[in-house]
Amino acid sequence: MKKSGGIVALLAASDVAQYRVVSVGAGKKVTYPTATSLPFGASLGSAKAGDSLDVQYTDIVELEVGATGVALDSYVKAQTDGTIVTASTTGDKIIGLPLESGVAGDIISVLLTRAKV
């Protein structure tokens, strides 16, 4: 596992697309978040299962917006496909603060900030 400047190289447990939120699971492998896992960071590239993937876990990252969009002046959470949407429900696991709004498919800048609503 390589560590440098807020980026770590981890193995992908399943296929992961670029600009997606990932969680770290068994064997220090990354996959998309589940309802019970904690969001860890952003994929800086895409990877097939078993391949190495650079994941940024601090600072400002680029993430893909999911189906319901992202509002400015809100917090965002990850969906199970790794895209982000506006967090609004008690218990949502926050991954960050968007620096711009976006609609489904947009790639936007997000300041990584983990918390729980």
Question: pLDDT (tens digit, 9 = 90+) per residue, 7-34?
Answer: 999 999 999 999 999 999 989 999 999 9
Which residue stretches of the chain have pLDDT < 70? 1-4, 117
Q: What angle do CA 60, 62, 68 make, to 5 degrees?
A: 115
Amino acid 90: pLDDT: 86
Amino acid 116: pLDDT: 72
Beta strands of 29-106 (E only): which ranges?
Answer: 29-31, 41-43, 52-56, 60-64, 76-78, 84-86, 93-98
Amino acid 18: pLDDT: 98
Amino acid 88: pLDDT: 87
Q: Tell me whether strands 52-56 and 41-43 are parallel, antiparallel or unpaired.
A: antiparallel
Amino acid 2: pLDDT: 59
Helix %, strand %, coil % of the chain (to 5): 5, 45, 50
